[in-house]
């Protein structure tokens, strides 16, 4: 049962990453970061780094992989919001 929950948790984190991708695509399509809080997405990114480190030290590969995917997607939104905020 523990392994099943770990897999479900990892899949949930991947779905979480997918939600950030939607925001990144919107920024790229509109070429605007209007309505996007860089501070919020930057904060999410820092939390995900903490999650990655926790997963590493706990040897929890589901957590580490899911948080890494989320960081990639959320970090992309953060960077895009900085780029398009100043254009």
Query: How many domains does the chain fold into?
Result: 1
- pLDDT confidence of residue 3: 82
Q: In this structure, what CATH number is given to the domain that contains residue 40? A: 1.20.1280.290
| Spatial distance between the Cα atoms of 63 and 48, rounded to a whole number of angstroms | 10
- Find the domain containing 37 and state its range: 2-85
- At 26-76, the pLDDT tens digits run 999 999 999 999 999 999 999 999 999 999 999 988 889 889 999 999 999
Whether pLDDT at 2 is above 90: no
| Spatial distance between the Cα atoms of 84 and 18, rounded to a whole number of angstroms | 21
Model-level pTM greater than 0.75? yes
């Amino acid at each position: 049962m523990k392994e099943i929950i770990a897999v479900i948790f990892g899949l949930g984190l991947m779905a979480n990453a997918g939600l950030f991708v939607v925001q990144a695509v919107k920024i790229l399509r509109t070429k605007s970061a209007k309505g996007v809080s860089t501070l919020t997405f930057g904060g999410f990114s820092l939390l995900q780094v903490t999650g990655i480190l926790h997963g590493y030290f706990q040897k929890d590969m589901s957590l580490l992989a899911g948080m890494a995917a989320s960081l990639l997607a959320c970090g992309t939104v953060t960077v895009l919001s900085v780029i398009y905020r100043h254009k």
